[in-house]
Amino acid sequence: EMSEMSERSKQNVAHGLAWSYYVGYLKIVLPRVKKSMEEFCRANPNLLACRKTWKLHILIPLSCDVYDDLEKADSNIQYVTDLTETTLARAGTKKRVYKHSLYAIRDEENQLWHCAVEYATPLQSLYAMSQDECAAFSREERLEQAKLFCRTLEEILKGSKECADAYRLIAYEEPEEAETHFLSREIVWHLRQEHREEIAMLEGNHLHTPSMALDSAELNLQISVSDLPQPLRTDGF
C-alpha cells in the first residue's frame, strides 16, 4: 500500500535518480577528480591556482533545462580542454571512458575563472518525463522533483567519504526574464566563495558551517560559505 501511494505521488522518481546518479557516476568519478586536476596543474600552473576549485562543479537548474553545449547556454563560458580521462570496464562495456571538461568563465570585470563544470544529467530525464504523456508529469511536479533530487543528492554526498571535497552543487532557479549571462555569474559567485574559503583556511580561520537542512517543499534561500553543496540564494548577484 505504501509503495502504491509512493508511485501515485511520484515521490520515488527523484530519489531513485539521485541514487543512480551517485552510484553509477559520481562515486566513480569524484574520487579521481583531484588527481586529474593535479595533473593538469603541473602543465598549467597558473590556471587553477586555487586548490579549493579542484572539484567538479555540478549545475542543478530547477527548471531541468539542460544545455548539451555550455557555450550556447552563456557566451561567457568557453571550453578550454578535457581533463585526464578515466577508463573502466563497466556493465559489460570494455574501456568505458569518463572525463570532465574544463571551462573558462568570464566575469563582469572581464576576468577569467577556470573550473570543471557540468550539468547533473538526470535532470534531462525529469524534463523528458514532463514532455511524455505516459509519465504524466506536470511542470509543477517537475519542479518539486528537481528540488527533491537536489536535497537527496546533497544528503547522499554529505555521507560519502570517497567524494568529500571533490564536488560543489550549484542549484539555482533561473529568473523569469531571460538574462544573457545569468549562468556565468552564478558559477563565478561559487568560485569566488571557494577562493575566500582558501584564503580563510590559509590564514588559520575556522569557517562556520551553517545548517544545510532543507524544507520538504522548498530549498532554503541563503548564502553559505560552507564547502558543502550550496542551496539557492536571493542576493541578486
CATH of the domain at 42: 3.40.50.12100
Residue 25 CB contacts under 8 Å (≥ 6 apart), including other chains? 98, 121
Assigned domain for 96 exists: yes
Q: Cα 233 from chain centroid?
A: 15
**10 Å Cβ neighbour count for 90?**
13
Report the pLDDT value the prediction gives residue 121, as an integer from 0 to 100. Answer: 96
Report the pLDDT value the prediction gives residue 95, as an integer from 0 to 100. Answer: 85
Assigned domain for 156 exists: yes
Task: Identify each DSSP E strand in the chain by its residue range.
Answer: 56-61, 77-82, 86-90, 93-98, 101-106, 112-119, 167-172
Assigned domain for 216 exists: no
How many domains are contained in the chain? Answer: 1
Task: Identify each DSSP E strand in 107-192 by its residue range.
Answer: 112-119, 167-172
Assigned domain for 188 exists: yes
Assigned domain for 88 exists: yes
Candidates 65, 81, 84; CA nearest to 73 is 65
Assigned domain for 68 exists: yes
Exposure string (b/e) for 168-194, b if CB count within 10 Å is 16 or more? bbbbbbeeeeeeebbbbbbbbbbbebb
Candidates 112, 97, 224, 90; CA nearest to 169 is 224
Domain that holds residue 91: 9-207
**10 Å Cβ neighbour count for 142?**
23
Report the pLDDT value the prediction gives residue 205, as an integer from 0 to 100. Answer: 55
Assigned domain for 231 exists: no
Assigned domain for 236 exists: no
CA 120 – CA 146 distance, rounded (Å): 11
Which amino acid belongs to residue 221?
A: L
Candidates 157, 67, 83; CA nearest to 116 is 83
Please list the pLDDT of the chain residue by residue as tens digits (237 residues): 444 444 455 557 899 999 999 999 999 999 999 899 989 988 887 788 788 999 999 999 999 999 999 999 999 999 999 998 888 888 889 888 999 999 999 999 999 999 999 999 999 999 888 887 666 678 888 899 999 999 999 999 999 999 999 999 999 998 888 788 999 999 999 999 999 988 888 777 554 444 333 444 445 433 333 444 444 444 443
